[in-house]
Amino acid sequence: MHPAHQAGATGQPAGQTYFFLSYAHLSLLQGLATDPDLEVQKFFGDLSEQLRPLVGAGPEHRVGFLDTELPPGTDWNEARTLALSTAHVFVPLYSATYFKNAWTQSEQESFRARLKASRVQGAHRHIQPVLWDPLPPWEQRREIAAALAVAPDIEAYQKDGLRALSRFSMYHDEYRNVLARIAVEIADVATHHPLPPSPAPPPTPEPIPRDQAQFVVVVAAPVRDEVSSGADPEDYTDVATQWRPFHDADALPAAEYVASSAERLNLATYVTDVPTVGNLLDTRPAVLLIDPWYLDGAGQDRELAGVLRGLPPWAIPVIAFDAADRRTADQGARLAGRVEDMLQQMDRPPARQLRGLAEFVSDMPRLISEARRQYLKNAPMYPSHQIPSPRLRLLTGDQPSDPTF
């Protein structure tokens, strides 16, 4: 096997992440029959298939990066930073949502910073934008010109974008044509103008102040010195929000997975615990993460009962524990049953029980979207000055919005 195609620890051919696919994750709001991200995953697979023979990679090799392809338990921010530091070409899927999404903008800013520091020739070719969905006339941006230049002679692409072409069989030939052009461009850039691996700034949105939150993650878990003898002390630290219910290797705190999922949906997210949540849930959708062992602490059952009693319909309770851990699974299930009994006695809907990391990570985007839907449906109307506003991100002079360098 050629050294450039030996699989590394991330599953990528060593040093050969040919493209980084950047797109705006869409919320699974009511009315959408299927996961809108599935179309992006199909495009990623189709583009990878077109690219492999052009760069001499076998079918077993990953030639691109897409965050939904990461296995459960992966540190998303660390994986994105690594991919942005090694990719030859950045492929953003432009849409109106893309330019408003803090997650995607941080990815593009990170790659641009690496590209500028590299001083590589023909830098503009290392960003290959695609028109995914057309922008409305009042939101036209100059970046779109580079995306349209991929296929100036294909009218359907110019008018409707590549998502539409991928959806309808009548556009099959046009879709494959555009796909082939993108693959050829990536292969040519990577082969004749390679971008050496170099550190990219972590593409992590900056922490937000409490009063600017658009989504809240509340953690109901004990800290280490409050944990009962039956729980695993390795799951806890001196901070409740760092609770790690799952024992998979390198698993992150549960709240970090929820916060990252919400940020991908362009929701400025604030993480807190039960004692300090205050009135945040009055005006913001939320997920309440419940550690069953929280009920085993002195007085914490009353504290949790108080939160559950006042829980609005847009705050989704989630009970999380590791059913695969033989040491704690039975007791965890028993305590989870106590939480469910509390909710039933309060005439509240049952909580979601997520008993493993894979289930927790895969279900979280849907639960976040459900919280948003319930908020839009049930939340009282507030004066405009009380509604959290989305953050505006301004590009600095070192991070131009124009793809020309």
Element (H, E) at 190: helix 172-192
81 pLDDT band, cuts 50/70/90, is very high
Q: Taking residues 9-35, what's their average pLDDT?
A: 65
Report the share of the chain in percent with pLDDT over 90: 55
Q: Check residue 266 and give its pLDDT.
A: 87
User: Angle CA(207)–CA(210)–CA(215) in degrees, nearest 5?
Assistant: 80
Q: Check residue 382 and give its pLDDT.
A: 57
Secondary structure (DSSP) of 17-63: EEEEEE-------TT-SS-THHHHHHHHHHHHHHHHHHHT--TTS--
Q: Residue 14: pLDDT above 60? A: no
3 pLDDT band, cuts 50/70/90, is very low
Report the share of the chain in percent with pLDDT over 70: 85
Q: How far apart are CA 383 and CA 393, in angstroms?
A: 24
Distances (CA, A) of 121 to 110, 150, 209: 18, 20, 41
27 pLDDT band, cuts 50/70/90, is low
* The pair of three-digit structure tokens given for residue 118, joined into one six-digit string: 């590299």
Q: Residue 147: pLDDT above 90? A: yes
The alpha carbon of residue 224 and the mean position of all alpha carbons in its chain are separated, in whole angstroms, by 29
How is the beta sheet containing 87-94 ordered, strand by strand?
Answer: 64-65, 17-22, 87-94, 130-131
Q: How far apart are CA 263 and CA 219, in angstroms?
A: 17
Q: Residue 384: pLDDT above 50? A: no
Contact 166, 44 (CB under 8 A): no
Q: Which range among 36-50, 71-85, 90-104, 375-389 shows the weakest confidence by mean pLDDT? A: 375-389
Instruction: Give 322: exposed, middle or buried? Use CB within 10 Å, 0-12, 13-18, 19+.
Output: buried
Contact 338, 297 (CB under 8 A): no
Q: Check residue 185 and give its pLDDT.
A: 97
The alpha carbon of residue 181 and the mean position of all alpha carbons in its chain are separated, in whole angstroms, by 28
Residues 6+ positions from 83 with CB-CB distance below 8 Å: 10, 12, 17, 20, 65
The alpha carbon of residue 153 and the mean position of all alpha carbons in its chain are separated, in whole angstroms, by 34
229 pLDDT band, cuts 50/70/90, is low
Q: Residue 76: pLDDT above 90? A: no
Q: Check residue 178 and give its pLDDT.
A: 98
Q: Check residue 397 and give its pLDDT.
A: 37
Residues 6+ positions from 307 with CB-CB distance below 8 Å: 218, 220, 274, 277, 288
Q: Which range among 3-17, 324-338, 341-355 shows the weakest confidence by mean pLDDT? A: 3-17
Contacts of 151-160 with C-beta under 8 Å, sequence gap 24+, read 151/177, 151/178, 151/181, 154/178, 157/131, 158/131, 159/134, 160/134
Q: Check residue 401 and give its pLDDT.
A: 41
Q: Residue 9: pLDDT above 50? A: no
Q: Residue 149: pLDDT above 80? A: yes
Q: How far apart are CA 333 and CA 344, in angstroms?
A: 16
Q: How far apart are CA 82 and CA 120, in angstroms?
A: 19
Higher pLDDT among residues 185 and 249, named by residue: 185
Q: Taking residues 160-188, what's their average pLDDT?
A: 96
297 pLDDT band, cuts 50/70/90, is low
The alpha carbon of residue 134 and the mean position of all alpha carbons in its chain are separated, in whole angstroms, by 23
* The pair of three-digit structure tokens given for residue 358, joined into one six-digit string: 């894979």
Higher pLDDT among residues 274 and 251, named by residue: 274
Q: How far apart are CA 203 and CA 205, in angstroms?
A: 7
Q: Residue 102: pLDDT above 90? A: no
Contacts of 167-175 with C-beta under 8 Å, sequence gap 24+, read 167/39
Q: Check residue 28 and give its pLDDT.
A: 55
Q: Tokens 């109901």 sit at which residue?
A: 220
Q: Residue 220: pLDDT above 70? A: yes
Residues 6+ positions from 135 with CB-CB distance below 8 Å: 94, 95, 96, 141, 144
How is the beta sheet containing 215-220 ordered, strand by strand?
Answer: 269-273, 215-220, 286-290, 315-320, 352-354
The mean of the pLDDT values for the chain is 85
